[in-house]
Structure 1
Amino acid sequence: MAEHQIIARIHTGFPEKFGIPRQSGLADTKGKILFEPDYRNPEMLRGIEGYSHLWLIWEFSEAVGKGWHPTVRPPRLGGNQRMGVFATRSPFRPNPIGLSCVRLEKVGLDGPDGPVLYVTGADMMSGTPIYDIKPYLPYVDSIPQARGGFASRVKEYALEVEIPGACLEKIPVSERETLRQILSQDPRPSYQDDPERMYGMGYAGMEVKFQVKDGRLLVRDIETASKDPAQEEKGRK
């Protein structure tokens, strides 16, 4: 079997795993897909602008080499109940492959890095390698009557997000609503519920400090994130 080739990498506002939406499409997170040098051929994208959404097949790069087990503990079940790995979307699998549906906003063909795909709804860390891109086909990919297994029994909720004015001013206007969407989904692991604990999440060049109590997430501080040279290098590869 031929070795899989990385065709592109996606660049998002997430420098680390913590805080990334648990599924694609849950927040209007922006992503920019840059192709590897051998795949920077605009002809490969001919006709792609006719689709509103795309499937991305990618690698859980942070899980590579960390092993896997037949059963896992899904965070949304509190981390206490085991389910079969193939009944979950855990990154720790025999082949650490992810699948995400994103909205295609724009195709950029010009510039030194062209072609570039601009997407929203990505649930990936910046620098994540992409193996393939396929069009989303509504007439076969959308199945309204499909069953959701145990995932459909998990109570979904949204936190009330409060961002004081002094913190709000530190957030770029273009990122304010997206950050609210991300925070409202409760980035914490389900088994953590300490109202006194301060959490930190990196997003879009910011370090967001917050606490959660009684269904309300309060942003305590916004700082400019320190640049991680190793992460920057990873994103350029």
Structure 2
Amino acid sequence: MNVKPIAYIHSPYGEKFAVPRQPNLVQQLTSTVRLIGEANCSDAVRGLTDFSHLWLIFQFHLIPLGKWHPLVRPPRMGGNQKVGVFASRSSFRPNNIGLSVVELLDITFEQNQVTLVIQGGDFVDGTPVIDIKPYIPYSDCIPHATEAYASRPIVAAKPITFDPACDSQLNKITTLIPEFKSVVSQVLQQDPRPGYRRGSVEEKTYGVTLYNYNIRFRFEQECIKVTAIAPAD
């Protein structure tokens, strides 16, 4: 079987840590899908703008192929209970392939480059795309479907606060990226820490790379506090 990328995703997520565990949890975040090779032609996307949402089939390219186990610990179960890999969305799979539904905002054609502008993705920057398919509501949406341990998204109840020391940097960034502060807040409210840490208070400072900025934060008693923002190395 010969499978090769047809596109690559350019995303504000510079690393695996803090990428949402499901699509559409950080809805304001915009990414692009740049078609490559023979797929990079206007005919390949003719009619695609008639659909509001897309399925992207992609590769977990940062996960070594073959590095998987039959049992995994879903974060939604606290990271302590195990289920079969096929009963999970774990990226550690026999074939490191993922599937996400995203909103299609636009398709641009500039200098012989076809680019899809999408929203709500859960992809690290540089993710290879294997296929693109339209989302068809009447067949893809199953209202009576049931689930076990993932009945609703987990959102931290604590508010996000920014240390006053971040104000100057925030003002500069938001002139270029108006949604920056909102996206950072949505990402941190997903509590990107390991499942067994979820909801706990820690003195430890964590860091995440978004939009080529390193964001430092802590989970305090009353809030999730962003302590520093600096350009990523």
Cα 1:88/1:202, change in 2 over 3 Å: same
CA–CA separation in structure 1 for the residues paired with 2:129 and 2:116? 12
Runs (4 or more) in structure 1 with deviation over 3 Å come to 153-159
Does the CA contact (< 8 Å) of 1:200 and 1:207 recur in 2?
A: yes
2:226 to 212, 219, 230: 219
Does residue 199 (structure 1) correspond to residue 200 (structure 2)? The answer is: no
| 1:132-181 CA distance string (max 9 Å, x none) | 00001111222222112222288654431111344244233222211111
2:13 maps to a residue whose letter is: F
Task: Indicate the residue corresponding to 1:234 in structure 2.
Answer: none
Cα 1:73/1:178, change in 2 over 3 Å: same
CA–CA separation in structure 2 for the residues paired with 1:74 and 1:9? 27
CA–CA separation in structure 1 for the residues paired with 2:36 and 2:153? 39
Task: Indicate the residue corresponding to 1:51 in structure 2.
Answer: 51
| 1:16-75 CA distance string (max 9 Å, x none) | 100111111011221111112222111000000111111100011111235211110112
CA–CA separation in structure 2 for the residues paired with 1:88 and 1:156? 19
Q: Map residues 1-237 of structure 1 onto 2, 5 A cutoff.
A: 2-27=1-26, 28-112=28-112, 114-152=113-151, 156-171=155-170, 172-173=173-174, 174=178, 175-192=180-197, 193=200, 195-214=202-221, 216-226=223-233
Cα 1:84/1:156, change in 2 over 3 Å: farther
| RMSD value, Cα | 1.7
Unaligned segments of structure 2, at least 5 residues: none
Does the CA contact (< 8 Å) of 1:162 and 1:216 recur in 2?
A: yes
Cα 1:168/1:106, change in 2 over 3 Å: farther
| 1:163-210 CA distance string (max 9 Å, x none) | 134424423322221111111111111223451100000000110000
Does the CA contact (< 8 Å) of 1:198 and 1:211 recur in 2?
A: yes
TM-score, normalising length: structure 2? 0.90
CA–CA separation in structure 2 for the residues paired with 1:57 and 1:180? 27
Does the CA contact (< 8 Å) of 1:76 and 1:154 recur in 2?
A: no
CA–CA separation in structure 2 for the residues paired with 1:161 and 1:153? 21
Cα 1:79/1:133, change in 2 over 3 Å: same
Unaligned segments of structure 1, at least 5 residues: 227-237
Task: Give the 3-state SS of the residue equivalent to 1:63 in structure 2.
Answer: coil
2:142 maps to a residue whose letter is: I
TM-score, normalising length: structure 1? 0.89
